[in-house]
């Protein structure tokens, strides 16, 4: 039987606008490409939107966060150290 997970989207009380939807979809695509499946298997611990800095994010159980600015590319950072951004999941994971 497959393991299932229920996620609540943080900082959201209304529907999504186009920028938010696009940013979150980029995060899920990056998750699918880098972190899902039997070889990596990183579970999502939370997801949502950072309203001040304007990005969507997916936090992973290993401490890496996938984020996408509402008008930008996907970036990665380590939880608690968001000053340093990485352009690849591998770079972020190697700095844990």
d(C-alpha 40, C-alpha 34), whole Å: 8
Task: State the number of CA atoms in the 13 A half-sphere of 16 facing the CB.
Answer: 16
Q: Is residue 6 in some structural domain?
A: no
Range among 12-16, 32-36, 45-49, 74-78 rated most confident? 74-78
Q: 85 lies in a domain?
A: yes
Residue range of the domain that includes 76: 18-94
In a domain, residue 9? The reply is no
**Residue 7: inside a domain, yes or no?**
no
Q: Which of 1-5, 40-44, 48-52 has the lowest mean pLDDT?
A: 1-5
Residue 29 predicted with pLDDT over 90: yes
Predicted confidence at residue 75, as pLDDT, reads 94
Task: Please check whether residue 8 lies inside any domain of the structure.
Answer: no
pTM: 0.83
Residue 23 has what pLDDT? 93
CB contact at 8 A, 48 and 57: yes
Residue 88 maps to a domain: yes
Provide the domain count of the chain. 1
- Whether 2 is in a domain gets the answer no
């Amino acid at each position: 039987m497959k393991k299932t997970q229920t996620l609540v989207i943080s900082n959201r009380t209304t529907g999504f606008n186009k920028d938010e939807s696009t940013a979150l979809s980029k995060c899920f695509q990056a998750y699918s490409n880098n972190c899902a499946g039997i070889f990596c298997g990183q579970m999502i611990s939370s997801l949502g939107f950072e309203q001040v800095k304007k990005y969507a994010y997916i936090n992973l159980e290993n401490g890496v966060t996938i984020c996408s600015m509402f008008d930008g590319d996907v970036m990665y950072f380590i939880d608690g150290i968001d000053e340093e951004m990485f352009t690849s999941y591998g770079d972020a994971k190697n700095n844990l």
